[in-house]
Amino acid sequence: MTKASAGAFRIAELAREVAKAKDVLYVGRGTAYPLAMEAALKLKELSYIHAEGYAAGELKHGPIALVDRTLPVIVVAPKDSCFEKTTSNMQEIAARGGRIILVTDTAGASEIGIDTLATLVMPDMHPIVAPIVYAVPMQLLAYYVALLTGKDVDQPRNLAKSVTVE
């Protein structure tokens, strides 16, 4: 297990692991759930790797069937009111051999007790603003994966602005 502050962690190295994957699963609860969906979208848009964002509590409704030793599962889990339930979901992922990349804060990192491929430790902050700050390493991960796979991050294929000027 690798633990490092997100500022010091070499996200480009972690991107090498993610870039090998055919599929990537992002999970989160509460305010982390929309971030999981957005992070999956960014990875798809930039690297063309299939990625999905799910509410951690919905794992048993399909996504858990995909978890094996080849699947990176990025868990967004600040130490908030949802943390214990997310930890339970991480145990289910670990039991199936999923390669967990945890994004949490110092309290979450010290309490997790689950073996991870990597743990990105974010600064401590109020849970309501955590998704804004946690978005940065998620975006950087998508960026580095795209670079490693030779994709043009400035002009992703098949994307158009959702708002156009008439």
Q: What is the pLDDT of residue 128?
A: 81
User: What are the sequence ranges of the domains in the chain?
Assistant: 3-148
Confidence of residue 8 (pLDDT cuts 50, 70, 90): very low
Q: What is the pLDDT of residue 25?
A: 97
Q: pLDDT tens digit string along 13-48? A: 899 999 999 999 999 999 999 999 999 999 999 999
pTM of the model: 0.89
Comparing C-alpha atoms, which of 99, 130, 113 is closest to residue 6? 130
Q: pLDDT tens digit string along 54-74? A: 999 898 888 899 999 999 999
CATH topology of domain 3-148: Rossmann fold (3.40.50)
Active-site annotation, residues: 161
